[in-house]
Amino acid sequence: MLEAKKSDPLSDVRERARAVAKSGGVEAALANGMPKLAECTLSEALVLGLLKQGVRKYFAIFGHGSTDLGNVLRIYEEEGATRTINCRNEVEMAHAATALRWQYGELTAVVTSIGPGAMQAFAGSLASASNGVGVYHIYGDETTFGEGYNMQQVPKEEQGLFARMTAIMGQSYALHTPEALRDALRRGALCVNHPYRAGPFYLLLPLNTQPARVTINLAALPARPELPKLAPADDASIEQAAAMIAKATKIAIKAGGGTRGHDAATRKLAEAAGAAVILSPGSTGVLPDAHPQNMHVGGSKGSISGNYAMSEAELLIVIGSRAVCQADCSGIGYKNAKAVININGDFADALHYNQTIALVGDISAVADRLAAYLQKSNARASKSTWLKTCAEKKGEWSAYKRKRFESSALRDEAWQKPVLPQPAAIKVVADFAKEIDAAKFFDAGDVQANGFQIVEDDRTGDTFTEAGASYMGFAASALLASALADNPRYGIAFCGDGSFMMNPQILIDAVEHRVRGMIVIFDNRRMAAITGLQLAQYKAEFRTNDHVAVDYEKLASSVSGVLAVSGGNSAATLRAALKTAHAHPGLSVVHVPVYCGPDELGGLGAWGEWNVGNWCEDVQAAWLRQEL
């Protein structure tokens, strides 16, 4: 039946919402007799279209730019078809939507008003763009009649400016014509579900097209795409790669963020090749921490063992990495590598280095096939000396870390008393997270850098470190994802004092939306990562702290429902505080004063090079000379 039905518009909205909720989805509702042709507003058509792609959940801050969409979401929620949670800050909700997809795989949409709300969510979407996480962003936008400036639009005599801005970050579509929805959602579906380069898709929803009526064919709205896994069609390049691996004696695998979820294949390939595995900040856990071939992170922060493998390997196998300057020592990380085997779905990433055999395709599919060749030829046999040296370096790194983990309190200038060094404090919290099987979130600063040097994960998915953008405020905001997750997992946000204050809205939103989780504030009363860089480069600190003492316990406990506790100044008091905090049935905040200063036990060091500040000359000179 392709005939549109005419009746009371609002009761039609309710009826459709009820039909979708009752059947458990748009396709099922159509199968159960819901008419394919719907006469509705663009706002409702959009909600139906997104439902067809499995989007049932929204993070929203409404404004005059999204009242019509808001009204549809109200009715759909009343009928049980969608869920919307209201937030306190658009950056925060963009982070939460990113975390919901990243951690739980659930695709959601962020809804804002026109102008400042959209701009803030747009800023937050850098995290989803940088980490390859698909999220829909729906922003109110200027009217299509152009009857005059719309309040809060970009004030210029030009059209479509938000659409242009957002198209730079990801892909965007202005819904100038309601019937264009089908095209918009087809493009959106591929963007947010792209197998190796997903990112934010922005739907610009003009104030006047939201309530415009449209006849839409629900059967013709695009569903979530199902794409086959791709791999090289023949074995020529795989055989060639296998022969190179068999011949080399010092091999390193760089496991980038793309290896997340490909744990088994990465391990199989590493073992078959006899390769030392260097992790990225975002791929900890891909190989179990104690695995003898796991060299830990490499890069500008890096580790003794990770950076040793980076600089000594003669053959580099890159897997799922886009060669980020910090993780790849600004392009000079592989000083002795003569050739590269690069496994990636993306042509450009696969061809980042010269002297490359590009094995383009799905990581597991390609790595499994390559590993099978290597097992047959016993390629691993010739790598024992290399792996033994690497294991010694890992031992050195472990001893170095242990010394810092076991350090007691150090006297701190800002605190005017002995307080825990940050690495020791982070280790206590990371161990506690493991004990209670909590997910860990990191965003920026020394907390993040020390964090990825410290965590000892055994699988993908226990740590979410926003390594793409290092967006201060991500970690605490990410806890809000659990408010909408089908099966929420207890999470711990590891926050610096600077980062926490970027997005403290979680204190209220977590209570309102019943999140169970914990924020640990590692408070050194400054933005220490930047202090550290300034001192290392120019031997002088400049404007990276203030002198305002903040009582975070008091601040957090002023929000009803939040439990705030002090972590004290020792590992034992911190452990006790974590237990108390975890027992709270909502959001808890643990405040830990931490040391910042010259004592070497206060940090975990930096083991690689970086093309910033007054290091540029040296790094660039080395880069010009290397041929990879």
Ligand X SMILES: Cc1ncc(C[n+]2csc(CCOP(=O)(O)OP(=O)(O)O)c2C)c(N)n1
* Contact footprint for ligand X (CB under 6 A): 444-447, 470-472, 496-499, 502, 522, 524, 526-530
Q: Which is nearer to ligand X, 273 or 467 (CB)?
A: 467
CB of 524 to Mg ion, least distance (A): 4
Position 349 contacts Mg ion (CB under 5 A): no
Strands 587-595 and 563-566: parallel
When binding is defined by CB under 5 A, the residue of 496, 568, 593, 603 that contacts Mg ion is 496
Q: Which is nearer to ligand X, 304 or 530 (CB)?
A: 530
d(CA 457, CA 463): 8
Residue 339 contacts residue 233 (beta carbons within 8 Å): no
CB burial class (10 A; 0-12, 13-18, 19+) of residue 6?
exposed
CB of 569 to ligand X, least distance (A): 17
When binding is defined by CB under 5 A, the residue of 498, 504, 567, 608 that contacts Mg ion is 498
Q: Which is nearer to Mg ion, 342 or 448 (CB)?
A: 448
Choose the one of ligand X, Mg ion, none that binds residue 297, judging by a C-beta under 5 to 8 angstroms depending on kind.
none
Q: Which is nearer to Mg ion, 265 or 414 (CB)?
A: 414
Helix (H, G, I), strand (E, B) or coil at 38: strand
Position 456 contacts Mg ion (CB under 5 A): no
Q: Could you tell me how many residues of this chain bind Mg ion (CB under 5 A)?
A: 5
- Residue 544 is encoded by which pair of tokens? 């990276």
Position 497 contacts Mg ion (CB under 5 A): yes
Alpha helices in 159-235 (DSSP H): 161-169, 181-192
CB of 282 to Mg ion, least distance (A): 22
Q: Which is nearer to ligand X, 339 or 606 (CB)?
A: 606
Q: Which is nearer to ligand X, 25 or 605 (CB)?
A: 605
Q: Which is nearer to Mg ion, 331 or 445 (CB)?
A: 445
- Residue 340 is encoded by which pair of tokens? 């590269």
Position 199 contacts Mg ion (CB under 5 A): no
d(CA 297, CA 625): 25
Choose the one of Mg ion, ligand X, none that binds residue 530, judging by a C-beta under 5 to 8 angstroms depending on kind.
ligand X
Residue whose entry in the numeric block shows the structure tokens 């992170």 = 297
R_g of the chain computed on alpha carbons: 26
- Residue 193 is encoded by which pair of tokens? 């579900």
Interface positions, 403-442, toward Mg ion (CB under 5 A): none
CB of 136 to ligand X, least distance (A): 23
Q: Which is nearer to Mg ion, 456 or 497 (CB)?
A: 497
3-state DSSP helix/strand/coil percent for the chain, to nearest 5?
Answer: 45, 20, 40
Helix (H, G, I), strand (E, B) or coil at 496: strand
Choose the one of ligand X, Mg ion, none that binds residue 444, judging by a C-beta under 5 to 8 angstroms depending on kind.
ligand X
Choose the one of ligand X, Mg ion, none that binds residue 472, judging by a C-beta under 5 to 8 angstroms depending on kind.
ligand X
Which amino acid appears at position 418 of this protein? P
Q: What are phi and psi of 291, to 5 degrees?
A: -55, 130
Q: Which is nearer to ligand X, 140 or 257 (CB)?
A: 257
User: Which one of the spans 200-208, 288-296, 308-316, 520-528 is the region binding Mg ion (CB under 5 A)?
Assistant: 520-528
Q: Which residue is nearest to ligand X (CB)?
A: 496
Beta bridge partners of 465: 442
- Residues 6+ away with beta carbon under 8 Å from 348: none
Q: What is the H or E stretch that residue 126 is in?
A: helix 126-131
Of 484, 482, 478, the closest CA to residue 82 belongs to 484
CB of 447 to ligand X, least distance (A): 4
Of 87, 130, 141, the closest CA to residue 109 belongs to 87
Interface positions, 525-554, toward Mg ion (CB under 5 A): 528
d(CA 84, CA 76): 10
Choose the one of ligand X, Mg ion, none that binds residue 466, judging by a C-beta under 5 to 8 angstroms depending on kind.
none
Q: Which is nearer to ligand X, 444 or 480 (CB)?
A: 444
CB of 551 to ligand X, least distance (A): 16
CB of 494 to ligand X, least distance (A): 10
What's the full length of the chain, in residues? 628
d(CA 444, CA 451): 10
Position 509 contacts Mg ion (CB under 5 A): no
CB of 526 to ligand X, least distance (A): 6
d(CA 532, CA 525): 14
Choose the one of Mg ion, ligand X, none that binds residue 502, judging by a C-beta under 5 to 8 angstroms depending on kind.
ligand X
Residue whose entry in the numeric block shows the structure tokens 């990113």 = 98
d(CA 247, CA 8): 75
- Residue 595 is encoded by which pair of tokens? 């040391």
Position 524 contacts Mg ion (CB under 5 A): yes
Q: Which is nearer to Mg ion, 262 or 526 (CB)?
A: 526
Residues that bind Mg ion (CB under 5 A): 496-498, 524, 528
